[in-house]
Amino acid sequence: MMRLPRFLLYVESEYESEKNAGCWRFSLEAIDGPEVLEAEDYELAAHPQRLDLIGLVRGLEALDQPSQIQLVTESRYLGRGLRVGLPLWRENDWRWERFGEMTPIKDADLWQRVDHALGFHRIQTRLMRIDSAHTLPMPHMALGGMSETPVAVKHVEPAKPAPRSRRVVLNLRGEESESEPTTPVTRVFRRSGRRNRLGVAAGA
């Protein structure tokens, strides 16, 4: 059996409660090679969990072949959704029972894209807490049909950002641009050291 390419996928977000908006970002790093892909963008009218979901979706959809993925995130919402929610939601046509009625789950559009991507990829989730002075609080939002329970989280010290020797911004058509692209997704490629902003060495 051919071995699947292995990647570390880091997903994080920053939420601005007064604007009901924020930034999502992901970093996709090849465990067995030098490839690194990072992307981030700002979203309006998006709650914290949706920002995390967008980062996950963009990261999964950036892979052009079936892969084995280690997801690293501080989002318990993503962890429980992948581990427990997806099978239930898929079986119930993306609905959950609330006060005796079946109602659509939150962010069903994004969860369905995650479910589609996992038809090609294998994923494992590693929950971590990121201690950072600029990390913004994330209001609670329970998963549809599931009560929130404590999840063990491993503490890691933040590392200094790796030096960036080259940054090329591409729009969705793959055209280089010196200014901010007008498309909703910004892809940023870089070559750097093998240590990322979350303080976890690639291959750990």
In this prediction, residues 133-150 reach a mean pLDDT of 36
Contact in structure between 27 and 38 (CB atoms under 8 Å): yes
Lowest-confidence segment of 65-74, 75-84, 190-199 by average pLDDT: 190-199
Beta bridge partners of 129: 155
CA 67-68-73 angle, to 5 degrees, is 115
Q: For residue 33, what are its two tokens?
A: 């090679």
Contact in structure between 11 and 2 (CB atoms under 8 Å): no
What is the dihedral sign for C-alpha 38, 42, 43, 47? positive
Which 3 state secondary structure label does DSSP give 22? Answer: strand
Q: Give the burial class of 21: count Cβ atoms within 10 A of its Cβ; 0-12 exposed, 13-18 middle, 19 or more buried.
A: middle
The whole-chain average pLDDT of the chain stands at 72
Note the pLDDT of residue 130.
53
Q: How far apart are CA 25 and CA 40, in angstroms?
A: 4
What is the dihedral sign for C-alpha 187, 177, 32, 199? negative
Beta bridge partners of 37: 28, 189
> What radius of gyration do the chain's Cα atoms show?
17
Judge: domain 6-77+120-142+153-190, CATH 3.30.420: yes
Percentage of the residues of the chain whose pLDDT score is greater than 70: 62
- pTM of the predicted protein model: 0.65
In this prediction, residues 27-36 reach a mean pLDDT of 91
